[in-house]
Amino acid sequence: MKLWQKNFEINSEIERYTVGRDRELDTFLAEHDVMGSMAHITMLESIGLLTKDELTALMRELRDILKMAQRGDFIIEKGIEDVHSQVELMLTRRLGDVGKKIHSGRSRNDQVLLDLKLFTRRQLQHVVDDVEQLFEELIQQSNRYKNVLMPGYTHLQVAMPSSFGLWLGAYAESLCDDMLFLQAAYRMTNRNPLGSAAGYGSSFPLNRQMTTDLLGFDSMNYNVVYAQMGRGKMERNVAFAIASVAGTIAKLAFDACLFNSQNFAFIKLPNECTTGSSIMPHKKNPDVFELTRAKCNKLQALPQQVMLIMNNLPSGYFRDLQIIKEVFLPAFEELRDCIQMTTYIINKIRVNEHILDDPRYDLMFSVEEVNRLAASGMPFRDAYKKVGLDIEAGQFTPQKEVHHTHEGSIGNLCNERIQALMKSIIADFNFERVKTAETKLAQE
C-alpha cells in the first residue's frame, strides 16, 4: 500500500517507471530521514499532536532504526516506494496506529528536502576533511622540495624558472578558494525546510524554529514556497563547489601525467603505483592520474546536469526533481575517492632534482639576466635587446642561481600564510554545532 494510494491499483509499468531508482538511492538518505522524523515528532508532541507516551515509544523505535541505518542494514522492501514509506511502515508494524501519526504537518516534499540537506551537509563535511588532508600533503611536499628548481611554462614553451615548492604550493592555495565555495555551499545547505510541507505550509501550529534548533541548522528556509524552490537549487550550488574542487585536482593530474612522461621526467611514480602494457614491456603508466583527471572532468559537468533538469521548472514541486538524485548523491563518494587517491599519490611521487643539468632549459634563465642588467642600471628595454641578441648569436651563458624574494615567489613561498588562510576558512564552518545537535537528538 502506497502512502498516497486510494481505492485503485496503479499499472505495474507506470509504477516501475515512476519509482525509478528511488529504492536504491534512498538508502543514502535513511539515517537522515530518521533524524528528521525524530526532530519532527519532538515538535509534534510540543504542540499537542502527540502524547508524551507516544513520543517516547516512537523515539525508542526510531533510535533502533537509526542504528540499523548506521550499520548499513536498512533496506527498502520490495513494493515500498521510498525511504519515507519504509520508515513509517516499520513504525506502524511495531506500534500500530501510533506509527501513522508521524506524518502530521509534513509532506514527502519537505521530508525529502530535509533528508537531502542533512545528507549533503554531512557529505560536505567529509569533503572538507578530505580537502584539508590533501592541502596539508601539498604544503608538506612544497616545503620539502622548495629549493628544487624546475622549468615554468607558458604556451607549453619553456618560460622562466619555477620550483617544485612553487608548483605544489599553487595547488594548495587553489584548494583555499575551493574551500570558500564549499563553505558557501554548506551555508546555503544548512537551512531548515521542514514545515514547508508540500510547499504551502500547514494549518497545524508548527514550531519550525524548534526543529531548526533540534537539527542544528543555522536558520530555516523561512518562506515555504522558497523552501520548495530550493530543491534543485541547493544541489546545483553544491555541484558548483564539487566542480571547483574537481577542477583543481584535474589540472594537477594533467600536470602530473605530463611531468611523469619520459620527455619531461620531472617526477616519477613508484613502480607499485603504475600499471603496465600487455605488449610493451617497458611501460609504466600513470593510470591513477589519468583516471583521476577523467573522473574530475566528469564531476565538473555535474552543475550543468542539475541545471538542465531543474532550470525550466516553475515554482512548486515536480517529479523531475527526483532525477537529480541519480547524479547528485553518488558524486560525493566519487569526489572523495579522487581526493584521497591524489593525497596518497602526492605523498609517493619523487622529483628529479637534476632537471636543470640539461642544456635545453638554459634559456629559461634569460629573464634573470635581463633583470640583473636592469638592476645594475641598464634600461630594461636595452637589457632585453642585449640578451635577445646574445641568444640569437649563441653567446648567452645562463647564471642558474635565482634570487626571488617577494611574497609568493620561489624564495618566499608564503606557505605559512596559505596555511593560516585555510585554517580560518575551515574554522568558519562551525561543524561542531551540528555534531552537538545531532548527538543530543539521537541519544535523548
Average pLDDT estimate for 97-119: 96
Q: How many CB atoms lie within 10 A of CB 321?
A: 20
pLDDT digits (tens, 9 = 90+) for 339-377: 999 999 999 999 999 999 999 999 999 999 999 999 999
Q: Is the dihedral of CA 169, 171, 174, 176 positive or negative?
A: negative
Q: Which residue has the cell 517516547?
A: 56
pLDDT on residue 22:
72
Looking at the predicted structure, is the pLDDT value of residue 5 above 90? Answer: no
Looking at the predicted structure, is the pLDDT value of residue 166 above 60? Answer: yes
SS3 per-residue string spanning the chain: CCCCCCCCCCCHHHHHHHHCCHHHHHHHHHHHHHHHHHHHHHHHHHCCCCCHHHHHHHHHHHHHHHHHHHHCCCCCCCCCCCHHHHHHHHHHHHHHHHHHHHHCCCCHHHHHHHHHHHHHHHHHHHHHHHHHHHHHHHHHHHHHCCCCEEEEEECCEEEEEEEHHHHHHHHHHHHHHHHHHHHHHHHHHCEECCCCCCCCCCCCCCCHHHHHHHCCCCEECCCHHHHHHHHHHHHHHHHHHHHHHHHHHHHHHHHHHHHHCCCCCCEECCHHHCECCCCCCCCCECHHHHHHHHHHHHHCCHHHHHHHHHCCCCCCCCHHHHHHHHHHCCHHHHHHHHHHHHHHHHHHCEECCCHHHCHHHHHHHHHHHHHHHHHCCCCHHHHHHHHHHHHHCCCCCCCCCCCCCCCCECCECCHHHHHHHHHHHHHCCCHHHHHHHHHHHHHC
| Confidence grade of residue 98 (pLDDT, cut at 50, 70, 90) | very high
402 φ/ψ angles, rounded to the nearest 5 degrees = -115, 150
Instruction: Give the Cα separation of 2 and 44 in Å (integer).
Output: 23
Pairing status of strand 219-220 against strand 191-192: parallel
Express as a percent the part of the chain with pLDDT over 70. 96
Residue 52's closest CA among 100, 90, 98, 97?
Answer: 98
pLDDT on residue 13:
75
Looking at the predicted structure, is the pLDDT value of residue 4 above 50? Answer: no
Average pLDDT estimate for 416-431: 97
229 φ/ψ angles, rounded to the nearest 5 degrees = -65, -20
Q: How many CB atoms lie within 10 A of CB 249?
A: 28
Q: Is the dihedral of CA 308, 312, 315, 321 positive or negative?
A: negative
Instruction: Give the Cα separation of 345 and 255 in Å (integer).
Output: 13
| Confidence grade of residue 319 (pLDDT, cut at 50, 70, 90) | confident
Express as a percent the part of the chain with pLDDT over 90. 88
Walk me through the domains of the chain, giving residue ranges and CATH numbers: 12-104 (1.10.275.10), 109-356 (1.20.200.10), 358-407 (no CATH)
Question: In this structure, which long-range contacts are made by residues 16-20, counting pairs with CB atoms below 8 Å and at least 24 apart in sequence?
Answer: 18/319, 19/81, 19/82, 20/322, 20/323, 20/326
pLDDT on residue 273:
87
pLDDT on residue 103:
95
pLDDT on residue 312:
87
pLDDT digits (tens, 9 = 90+) for 383-408: 999 999 999 999 999 999 899 999 99
Residue 182's closest CA among 133, 134, 132, 230?
Answer: 132
Looking at the predicted structure, is the pLDDT value of residue 238 above 50? Answer: yes
Looking at the predicted structure, is the pLDDT value of residue 161 above 80? Answer: yes
**310 close to 320: Cβ distance less than 8 angstroms:** yes
How high does pLDDT run on average in the chain? 94
pLDDT on residue 289:
95
| Confidence grade of residue 16 (pLDDT, cut at 50, 70, 90) | low
For the chain, the residue count is: 444
pLDDT on residue 392:
96
Looking at the predicted structure, is the pLDDT value of residue 1 above 60? Answer: no
pLDDT digits (tens, 9 = 90+) for 258-286: 999 999 999 999 889 889 888 998 898 99
pLDDT digits (tens, 9 = 90+) for 213-235: 999 999 999 999 999 999 999 99
